[in-house]
């Protein structure tokens, strides 16, 4: 095929043409790879966005139910107060052993509900943060200053892990 190239100029021209063709093929290949990479990034962003929205729904349900449970605990505590009073005006009379048992159960319920609430709030914050990263990558984020309360954050983390710590026989303390 190339045997009829007699002069060095013709051979050089052919080599140059082949190199140009190879470079164009490489450019086309790289262009396709780049489009594929952009498409994969876009799909990842869409997946993360959808995942966060899907996480938010059950977390919102958890938060709502925790609020309902907390309200129920308040009612039970209000019922117990007259039982525990010394003025004799309580409409419900329970033995002191039952009152102590109910108070202990309420204290445990409060601890558990607080831990659930802290976990749910943490999950919500995580999903909000991932959504913020997606917005940041798309250039749609507005930064704002917020006050950070280290004490309440530490207390919240301790509450989140209090049930696990108790099961493992660990004591927790947060003052």
Domain ranges of the chain: 8-143
In Å, what is the CA distance from 103 to each residue of 79, 83, 99, 109, 114?
11, 11, 6, 10, 16
65/168 Cα distance (integer angstroms): 27
Query: Residue 49: what pLDDT?
Result: 78
Query: Residue 37: what pLDDT?
Result: 79
Query: Residue 18: what pLDDT?
Result: 84
Average pLDDT, integer, range 148-169? 77
Residue 88 has pLDDT above 60, yes or no: no
Work out whether the CA dihedral 113, 114, 115, 119 comes out positive or negative: positive
H/E segment holding residue 119: helix 96-138
CA dihedral in degrees (103, 107, 113, 115; nearest 10)?
-170
Instruction: Output the six-digit token pair for 4.
Output: 């009829």
Instruction: Output the six-digit token pair for 161.
Output: 């892990």
pTM beyond cutoff 0.85: no
> Tell me, what DSSP letter sits at residue 95?
-
Least confident of 18-22, 23-27, 125-129: 125-129
Average pLDDT, integer, range 128-153? 77
């Amino acid at each position: 095929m190339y045997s009829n190239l007699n002069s060095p100029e013709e051979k050089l021209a052919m080599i140059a043409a082949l190199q140009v063709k190879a470079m164009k093929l490489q450019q086309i290949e790289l262009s396709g790879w780049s489009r594929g990479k952009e498409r994969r990034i876009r799909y990842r962003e869409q997946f993360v966005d959808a995942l966060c929205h899907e996480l938010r729904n059950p977390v919102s349900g958890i938060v709502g139910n925790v609020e309902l449970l907390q309200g129920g605990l308040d009612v039970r505590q209000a019922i117990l107060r007259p039982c525990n009073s010394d003025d004799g005006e309580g409409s419900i009379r329970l033995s002191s052993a039952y009152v102590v048992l109910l108070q202990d159960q309420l204290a445990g319920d409060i601890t558990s509900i607080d831990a659930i609430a802290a976990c749910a709030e943490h999950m919500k914050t995580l999903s909000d943060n991932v959504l913020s990263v997606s917005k940041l990558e798309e250039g749609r984020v507005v930064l704002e200053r917020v006050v950070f309360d280290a004490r309440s954050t530490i207390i919240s983390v301790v509450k989140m892990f209090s049930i696990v710590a108790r099961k493992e026989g660990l004591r927790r303390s947060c003052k």
